[in-house]
């Protein structure tokens, strides 16, 4: 069934594309497109989402046009007027054929939306390209700041993160307190950072630039200020930045780290080691410890993301 839909889907897609190419003009009315972060994709993930959004907006506009037209015509034609004072509306019970039509068309529309949705949902679990080796960055949300740890480079930043452009980045998300959501709209959709859990979000920037990120999930008093900057750099620039940090940034120790975690706001910080040396918050909930010791998961490479997935079921 998926295969059968495919042909029609691409043909229709092309036609709707053409019609939609004027759509961004509408958004100009409310501000420029660059400011409409979601509609200004700067990476493959955000672009897939943008395509999906535009694809769905096409169908939705179609539905709106049909319903609004019917609505207007009916209201004008069948309003009570002096001329139709004697008119007695017929008592219709319904019409099976019409019922089938307006059940079947939405079924087709849902199918046309479901296929690319499911495809994209699965695609986001893997890096957008397998030609480049992804880098891993651990992200820890705390009240009310973002901590970024680079395990391979052995450096750590607070409230900003540098990434190499054109390279998929595996953000491994966790939280020391309330649930937050890691969102960089120009690079792609969000995912929750939760205590005692590790979730993974893969993003990639096409080209060097600065992108705004923020927490999208309310986490207490100063949540509004949980913003961070994603700085995408050319591969060499990124390497140079890492080296600079290694040479110039101070070391982080447990005391200093505990201070950072205290509830409140902090500025940007940079360190030449990571807190992962002594604690990984993703593995802190004793729930997991118990499960492991009970022998439920013998695998030493036991992946916490899979574990959280398991609980989700």
Partner 1 sequence: MKWSEFFVTGEPLIYAADVAIVLTMVGIVFVLTYFKKWKWIWNEWLTTVDHKKIGVMYIICAVLMLFRGGVDALLMRAQLTAPNMNFLDAQHYNEIFTTHGTIMILFMAMPFIIGLMNIVVPLQIGARDVAFPYLNALSFWLFFFGAMLFNISFVIGGSPDAGWTAYFPLAGNEFSPGVGNNYYAVSLQISGIGTLMTGINFLVTILKMRAPGMTLMRMPMFTWTILITCVLIVFAFPVLTVALALMTFDRLFDTQFFTMANGGMSMLWANLFWIWGHPEVYIVILPAFGIFSEIVSTFAQKRLFGYKAMVYSIVGIAFLSFIVWVHHFFTMGAGPEVNSVFSITTMAVAIPTGVKIFNWLFTLRKGKIRFTTAMLWSLAFIPNFVIGGVTGVMLAMAAADYQYHNSYFLIAHFHYVLIAGVVFACFAGLHYWYPKMFGHMLNERLGKWTFWLFMIGFNVCFFPMYFLGLMGMTRRMYTYSDGLGWTPLNVVATVGAVLMGIGFIVLCYNIYYSARYGERDMTGDPWNGRTLEWATASPPVHYNFPVTPIVDDLDAYWVMKKKQGGFQVKEEELKPIHMPSNSGRPFWISVAFFVAGFGLVFKWFALAIAGALFIVLGLILRSFENDDGYHIGVDEIKRTERAARKGA
Q: Could you say which residues in the range 114-173 bind partner 1, by CB under 8 A?
A: 114, 116-118, 120-125, 143
Q: Which of 248, 255, 286, 299 binds partner 1 (CB under 8 A)?
A: 286
Name the minimum Å distance from CB 266 to partner 1: 16
The reply to whether 87 sits near partner 1 by the rule CB under 8 A is: yes
The reply to whether 256 sits near partner 1 by the rule CB under 8 A is: no
What is the CB neighbour count within 10 angstroms for residue 2? 11
Scan residues 216-235 and list those touching partner 1 (CB under 8 A): 216-224
The reply to whether 215 sits near partner 1 by the rule CB under 8 A is: yes
In DSSP notation, 120-161 reads: HHHHTTS-S-SSS--EEEEEEEETTEEEEEETTTTEEEESEE
Six token digits for residue 10 = 């691409």
Task: State the Cα–Cα distance between residues 137 and 118, nearest whole angstrom.
Answer: 27
The packing angle between helices 96-123 and 2-20, to 10°, is 90
- For 296, the 3-state DSSP assignment is coil
Beta-strand pair 135-142/160-164: unpaired
- For 190, the 3-state DSSP assignment is strand
Name the minimum Å distance from CB 73 to partner 1: 9
Q: Which of 287, 293, 296, 303 binds partner 1 (CB under 8 A)?
A: 287
Between 27 and 56, how does the x/- string for binding to partner 1 read (CB under 8 A)? x--xxx--xxxxx------x-xx--xx--x
Quick check: 115 and 2 in contact, CB under 8 A? yes
Q: Which of 12, 132, 179, 266 binds partner 1 (CB under 8 A)?
A: 179
The reply to whether 58 sits near partner 1 by the rule CB under 8 A is: no
The reply to whether 68 sits near partner 1 by the rule CB under 8 A is: yes
Name the minimum Å distance from CB 296 to partner 1: 13
Q: Which of 78, 210, 235, 250 binds partner 1 (CB under 8 A)?
A: 78
The reply to whether 268 sits near partner 1 by the rule CB under 8 A is: no
Name the minimum Å distance from CB 101 to partner 1: 9
In the sheet with 160-164, reading across from the earlier edge strand, the strands are: 160-164, 227-233, 209-215, 180-184, 188-193
Six token digits for residue 166 = 């054109």
Measuring CA to CA, how many Å separate 251 from each of 216, 254, 257? 31, 10, 10
The reply to whether 294 sits near partner 1 by the rule CB under 8 A is: no
Quick check: 124 and 117 in contact, CB under 8 A? no
Stretch that binds partner 1, among 12-20, 80-88, 251-259, 268-276 (CB under 8 A): 80-88
Q: Which of 60, 256, 259, 296 binds partner 1 (CB under 8 A)?
A: 60
Q: 216 vs 249, which CB is nearer to partner 1?
A: 216
Q: 15 vs 32, which CB is nearer to partner 1?
A: 32
HSE of 87 in the Cβ direction (CA atoms, 13 Å)? Answer: 11
Stretch that binds partner 1, among 160-168, 195-203, 233-241, 267-275 (CB under 8 A): 195-203
The reply to whether 308 sits near partner 1 by the rule CB under 8 A is: yes
Q: Omega of the bond prior to 144 within 30 degrees of 0, cis?
A: yes
């Amino acid at each position: 069934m998926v295969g059968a839909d495919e042909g029609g889907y691409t043909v229709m897609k092309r036609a709707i594309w053409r019609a939609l190419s004027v759509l961004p003009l509408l958004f100009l009315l409310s501000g420029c497109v660059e400011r409409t972060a979601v509609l200004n994709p700067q990476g493959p993930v955000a672009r897939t989402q943008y395509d999906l959004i535009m694809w769905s907006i096409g169908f939705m506009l179609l539905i709106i046009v049909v319903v609004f037209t019917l609505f207007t015509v009916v209201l004008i034609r069948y309003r009570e007027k002096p001329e139709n004072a004697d008119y007695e509306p017929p008592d219709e019970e319904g019409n099976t054929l019409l019922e089938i039509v307006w059940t079947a068309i939405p079924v087709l529309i849902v199918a046309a939306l479901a296929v690319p949705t499911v495809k994209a949902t699965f695609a986001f679990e893997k890096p957008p390209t397998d030609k480049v080796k992804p880098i891993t960055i651990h992200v820890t949300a705390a009240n009310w700041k973002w901590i970024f740890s680079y395990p391979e480079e052995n450096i750590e930043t607070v409230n900003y993160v540098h990434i190499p452009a054109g390279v998929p980045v595996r953000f491994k998300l966790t939280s020391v307190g309330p649930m937050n959501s890691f969102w960089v709209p120009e690079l792609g959709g969000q995912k929750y950072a939760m205590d005692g859990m590790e979730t993974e979000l893969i993003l990639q920037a096409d080209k060097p630039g600065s992108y705004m990120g923020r927490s999208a999930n309310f986490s207490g008093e100063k949540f509004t200020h949980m913003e961070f900057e994603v700085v995408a750099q050319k591969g060499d620039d990124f390497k140079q930045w890492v080296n600079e940090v290694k040479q110039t940034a101070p070391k982080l120790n447990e005391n200093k780290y505990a201070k950072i975690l205290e509830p409140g706001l902090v500025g940007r910080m940079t360190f030449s080691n990571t807190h992962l040396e002594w604690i990984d918050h993703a593995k802190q909930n004793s729930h997991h410890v118990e499960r492991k010791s009970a022998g439920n998961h013998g695998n030493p490479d036991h992946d916490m993301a899979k574990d959280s997935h398991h609980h989700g079921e």
